[in-house]
Amino acid sequence: MSETTVIRGIDWLVAWDTAEAHHVYLRDADLAFSGGAVTFVGKGYDGPAETEIDGAGRMVMPGLINVHSHPTSETMRKGVTDETHSPGFWHSSLYEHLPVFDPADDEGRMACLKVALAELLLSGVTTVVDLSAAFDGWLDALADSGIRAVAAPFFRDARWYTSDGYKLQYDWDEKAGRERFDAACRVIELARQHPSGRLDGMLSPSQVDTCGESLLRDSHAYATERNLPWTIHAAQSVTEFLEMQRRHGKTPIEWMADMGVLDERSIIAHCIFLDHHPWLHWSSNRDLDLMAERGATVAHCPTVFSRRGITLRTFGEYVRRGVNMGIGTDTYPHNMLEEMRTAAVAARVIGESVADLDYLDIFNAATTGGARALRRDDIGRLAPGARADFVVVNLEHPAMMPVREPLRSLLVVAAERAVRDVYVDGEAVVRDGELTTIDLAAESERLQRAQARMLERVPELDWAGRTADEMAPMMLPTREAVS
C-alpha cells in the first residue's frame, strides 16, 4: 500500500472547485497525496500520513503545463539568435537562421534537453510537450528528469531553404515524409509504453507549409484512432500566410478546416497571422471564429516572437472569441513563469489596455487550458483524483512580500525565484530550490562545448557562407586585454 504525505496548514492553496469548474484560494488548508495522486484537498485532514510537511508560509498551486517547446535545440541558441536580423523574411528568423544554428550532434541535443528540462522544472512546469527530432536516449532522458512529458517527434514532407536570403524554397520528398511519419508513430507508442508511466505521445507534422494534404490527413486520422493530440506550426509568419494563399487560395486555418484536421484535438502553434492581423490587411475576418467553432487550441509562445516585434492580436481577444488557449516556452529561456508574464504584458501593450486580459486568463491557459489541449482532466488542477503534480511557493521570499495576492505576485514579480519545491506524481523533482534529478552545472558545461561545435560549422550551412559572428554580431567589440 502506498504511503501518504500531507502538507498541513498551507497558507494559500490553489484548489479546484469541481462544482463551479474554476480555481479557488483555500486558506490554512491541507493537501494529501498517495500513489502519485491527490487524495484530499481541504481543511483538517484526519487520515493516515506517514510524512507530514508544514505548509505555513507557503502557497501550493497546480503544476504548470507547457504545451509547446523545443528543448533539444533552442537552449543552444542562447546568445546567438537573441536579435538576429533577417530582412528578407518579414521579421522572421525561421527560414534563414534556424537551419544554420542547430545542434551538430546528439550529444549537443542531450545537453540542450537536460538544461531546458532543468529550467522548466525550476519554473514550476510539471508537464511539457517536447517537439523534437527523435534521437537515441530521448525518451529515457525525459523520464529520468522526473517531468511528465508528451513526446511529439517531428515529421514533414519538405524542408525549408533559401539560396539568396529572401526567397523561401522547399525541398519536397513525400516518400521521406511518410517514412518519418511511420517512425514517429513507433516512437509515440514506445513513449506510451514507457515504464516510468509519465510519458505520452502526440502527432506532430512540423509546419503547415512543409506538409502535404495526405500527410496531414493521415497523421490526424492516426491521432483520432489512438485518441492523441495533434499539433502543427501554422500562421507563424507573413511569409507562410502568403505561401499558403498562393498554393490554395485559403488562409492556413481555412485550409486545415476544409480538410478536417482542425478540431478539438488540434493544437496550433503559433496562430498569430490570422486573417484579422493588421500586417496582412486581409479582406476576411473568419480564422478566429473557425478556431473557436472547431474547438482547436492555440499554443501561445510570446517570448520568441516579441524579440522580433511580433505579437498575438490579442490574447484577450482570442479568449473573448472562445478559443482555448495554452502557453508554451518554445525557445530559451525555458522559464514558464517569465513566459506567462510576457504573455500578459504583450497583450496589454498591443491591446493598449490593462483590460485586454486578466492574469487569471494566463494562469488558466497554463493549467486547465493546457490540460484540455492534452485531452486530460487529471492535471492542471488540485482536486481528489488528480495527479499529484504541484508547486510549492515560498511566500517568505522578499519578492513575494507583502503577501496579499500571491498568484499575481508570483507572475508579476517573483517568478522562479520563489519556487521552492516541485512535485510530479507525488515525487519531489525540485526540493528547497534545487533539482533532484538533473546536474544543471554539469549539463551547462556540456552545452557550452556543444554550442562551440555548432558555431564552427555555421559557414558550411549558411547560404552565403557567413560566420556566426557575421550572422549574429556581438554587442560590443571584443579585444584581447593588454598589460
Q: Where are the domains of the chain?
A: 4-62+383-435, 64-373
What local confidence, expressed as pLDDT, does residue 91 receive? Answer: 84
Residue whose C-alpha cell reads 536579435 in the numeric block: 83
Q: Which amino acid is residue 257, in one-letter code? A: A
Q: Residue 116 in contact with residue 357, Cβ under 8 Å? A: no
| Residue partners of 67: CB distance under 8 A and separation at least 6 | 129, 231, 267, 297, 299, 326, 327, 328, 370, 373, 374
Cα separation of 177 and 147, whole Å? 30
CA atoms within 13 A on the CB side of 35: 7
Question: Residue 137: how many CB atoms within 10 A of its CB?
Answer: 14
Cα separation of 456 and 471, whole Å? 13
What local confidence, expressed as pLDDT, does residue 92 receive? Answer: 85
Cα separation of 67 and 31, whole Å? 26
What local confidence, expressed as pLDDT, does residue 1 receive? Answer: 61
Q: Residue 283 in contact with residue 251, Cβ under 8 Å? A: no
Residue whose C-alpha cell reads 481543511 in the numeric block: 43
Cα separation of 74 and 116, whole Å? 8
| Residue partners of 66: CB distance under 8 A and separation at least 6 | 120, 125, 127, 128, 129, 327, 328, 329, 334, 336, 366, 370
Residue whose C-alpha cell reads 506567462 in the numeric block: 340
CA 225 to chain centre: 25
The pTM for the full model equals 0.97
Cα separation of 60 and 49, whole Å? 18
Q: Which amino acid is residue 33, in one-letter code? A: F
Q: Residue 36 in contact with residue 60, Cβ under 8 Å? A: no
**Domain 64-373: which CATH number of 2.30.290.10, 3.20.20.140, 3.40.50.800, 3.60.21.10:** 3.20.20.140
- Identify the CATH number of the domain defined by range 4-62+383-435: 2.30.40.10
Report residues of the chain scoring pLDDT below 70. Answer: 1
Cα separation of 21 and 398, whole Å? 33
Write the secondary structure of the chain as one string of H (helix), E (strand) and C (coil): CCCEEEEEEEEEEEEEECCCCEEEEEEEEEEEEECCEEEEEECCCCCCCCEEEECCCEEEEECEEEEEECCCCHHHHCCCCCCCCCHHHCCCCCCCCCCCCCCCCHHHHHHHHHHHHHHHHHCCEEEEEEEECCCCCHHHHHHHCCCEEEEEEEECCEEEECCCCCCCEEEECHHHHHHHHHHHHHHHHHHHCCCCCCEEECEEECECCCCCHHHHHHHHHHHHHHCCCEEEEECCCHHHHHHHHHHHCCCHHHHHHHHCCCCCCEEEEECCCCCCCCCCCCCCCCHHHHHHHHCCEEEECHHHHHCCCCCCCCHHHHHHCCCEEEECCECCCCCHHHHHHHHHHHHHHHHCCHHHCCHHHHHHHHHHHHHHHCCCCCCCCCCCCCECCEEEEECCCHHHCCCCCHHHHHHHHHHHHHEEEEEECCEEEEECCEECCCCHHHHHHHHHHHHHHHHHCHHHHCCCCCCHHHHCCCCCCCCCCCC
What local confidence, expressed as pLDDT, does residue 43 receive? Answer: 96
Peptide bond into 402 cis (omega under 30): yes
Dihedral, CA atoms, 12, 16, 18, 21, nearest 10 degrees?
110
| Residue partners of 189: CB distance under 8 A and separation at least 6 | 201
